[in-house]
Amino acid sequence: MAEITLENLTTKKLLFNNTLISLFVQGGPALIAFFTVPALIRGLGTEKFGILTLIWAIIGASSMLDFGLGHALTQFVSKKIGLKEFDELQNYIITAIAFIFALGIAAAVLVYSLAPLIAKNCIHTSPIYVNDVIGSFRLLSITIPFLMLNICLVGLLEACQKFGIIGLLKIPIIFCNYIAPLFVLCFFKSLIAVVSVLVIGRIVSSMAYFWFSLKIIRGFSEKIKIKISYIKPLLSFGGWMTISNIINTIVTNIDRFVIAGLISAKVVAYYTTPLDALTKIWTIPLAIMSVMFPAFSFEFFANRKRAERLYFKCIQTVFIIIFPICLILFILAKPGLVLWLGSEFGEKSALISKIIIIGVFLQSLNIINYNFVQSTGKSHIQAKIHLVEFPIYMATLWFLVKHFGLTGAAFAWLARIILDSILFNFFSFYLMKSSK
């Protein structure tokens, strides 16, 4: 495949252009959500909107079910292209796609079956909304195979630096997540109707991702076949990633479920709304790293001094961009919430927002460490860090929520971010030192 070469994939111009595209694509939903979330809260009510945030959390959590194959595929394809080893590459890719989709079907059956149990025992909500929760979770289960498939397909497109295509295909997801629900609420004040729109958007986008990815796969070879043995090289990297993804996804989302269980689903929105809004800032370092990860992955083995320079350049760039944003948001937390969501949110969420902003800044820098460690192939380091953090965070979260409510949840969240940053900074510098 002549047009996909290392020289084409690591030029400064391409990396810069793709970073801008990725920033625009990942920042777009945050901008749209800023305007649509208040309308969704008014249309659904605070309690049903709190349930919707749980639905969004589960959609995000689907990444933990792919056995790390999405990220593994990005690294695997990047290395193979860099080494010009195209033999059987298309079969590795198509086998990974089939395997992930099959896992998604199994997960969908599980979520569908457990929906009543989740609604009645895990979410403390008003009795009149129990059937809505069950129906929403069962609708959500339909999307799980497609959500997991998207992770794999995006990994392939990223490895080939096809960020323009990724950006184009994000449009139906953005529309169905934030805009279409507003149209639905004009006719139906139903949570199930809103979730139905989310389901349609994910399925349509998945079909489009597959069509474009298939063109790339056939570019390597016209012969396409599935071999289970091809999963092993990807799972050797993705196995530890799976452990890390599972733990990280749980600790990232468990706080809202603990709040719903220990306090009430009625107050979840006062915590999750500022959390979800402020963590959208992470779209900036995530956009940069989605482009830089394949570059890290190759350069660590091909030119380690350049990999180190890329690492520090990323740290510098993210700090310069993120620090002023977080400082302004910290100062204007309460008046900003009042202006955006009203005085009630301003009173109940101001302190929570300030705590979250500190964590958002630290984690923005730590995202670079995540990607650097993963790019070296040392995925076991990340998994072991998260294994250590998990019981500490769960105990801290439970204690602080029980005794200090929503503010306690925010402090537990920040404590986890601080510990995470210390450990990943240490191992990033260790790997750079050991690589010389």
Report the Cα–Cα distance between both ends of the chain, in Å, rounded: 33
Residues contacting residue 261 through CB under 8 Å, at least 6 positions apart: 122, 123, 124
Maximum mean pLDDT: which of 5-9, 112-116, 140-144, 365-369: 365-369
CA distance 247 to 389: 9
What tokens does 279 get?
């963590």
**pLDDT value of position 270:** 84
> What pLDDT shows up at residue 366?
95
**Cβ contacts of residue 105 below 8 Å, gap of 6+?**
145
pLDDT grade, residue 96 (50/70/90)?
confident
CA distance 53 to 181: 13
Exposure string for 143-162, b = 16+ CB within 10 A, e = fewer: bbbbbbbbbbbbbbbbbbbb
How does the average pLDDT of the chain come out, rounded? 80
DSSP 128-179: GGHHHHHHHHHHHHHHHHHHHHHHHHHHHHHHTT-HHHHHHHTHHHHIIIII
Q: pTM of the entire structure?
A: 0.65
In this structure, the dihedral spanned by the alpha carbons of residues 366, 368, 371 and 372, taken in order and rounded to 10 degrees, is -110
Calculate the alpha carbon distances from 114 to 66, 198, 202, 330 in Å: 20, 20, 21, 40
Instruction: Give the tens place of pLDDT for each residue, 169-215.
Output: 777 777 777 777 788 887 877 778 888 888 888 888 888 888 888 77
User: Three-state DSSP class for 342?
Assistant: coil
Each residue's pLDDT tens digit, 311-365: 898 899 999 999 999 999 999 988 988 888 888 888 888 899 999 999 999 999 9
9-26 residue pLDDT tens: 556 666 667 777 777 766
Residue type for position 59 = I
Q: CA dist 222 to 100, 321, 407, Å?
A: 22, 44, 57
Query: Distance (Å, rounded) from C-alpha 419 to C-alpha 390?
Result: 11
Burial track 341-364 (b if 16+ CB lie within 10 A, e otherwise)? beeebbebbbebbbbbbebbbbbb
The answer to whether 257 and 400 have CB atoms below 8 angstroms apart is: no
What pLDDT, on the 0 to 100 scale, is given for residue 86? 67
